[in-house]
């Protein structure tokens, strides 16, 4: 099981989460957020467990947003926006 799947939980209402993201953010904003989250996730080289856990959470959020958007649309927007 990879880190992305380990974080998935039935504790969240995925449909409501997806709707909240896409009702409030444009696809351009979501793509930009993914790029920024991924940059933040690799920004630290600290060995502290708490920091590592936080960055894993950031990476999970970026992966989840990309999954929600779809990889093809995400890649297209990254190219269009030159992110």
Residue scoring higher pLDDT (22 or 1): 22
CA distance 17 to 41: 21
The torsion defined by the Cα of 29, 64, 34 and 49, in degrees rounded to 10, comes to 140
Q: What is the pLDDT of residue 32?
A: 92
**pTM score:** 0.67
CA distance 51 to 42: 11
Q: 16-57 pLDDT, tens per residue?
A: 988 899 899 999 999 999 999 888 777 655 567 777 788 888
In 3D space, the residue among 7, 20, 1 whose CA is nearest the CA of residue 61 turns out to be 7
Residues 6+ apart with CB under 8 A from 37: 58, 59, 61, 62, 65
Q: What is the pLDDT of residue 43?
A: 63
């Amino acid at each position: 099981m990879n880190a992305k799947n380990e974080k998935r939980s039935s504790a969240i209402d995925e449909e409501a989460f997806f709707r909240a993201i896409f009702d409030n953010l444009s696809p351009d904003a979501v793509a930009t957020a993914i790029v920024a989250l991924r940059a933040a996730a690799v920004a630290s080289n600290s060995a502290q467990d708490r920091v590592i856990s936080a960055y894993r959470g950031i990476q999970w959020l970026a992966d989840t947003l990309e999954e929600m958007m779809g990889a093809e649309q995400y890649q297209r927007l990254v190219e269009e926006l030159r992110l």
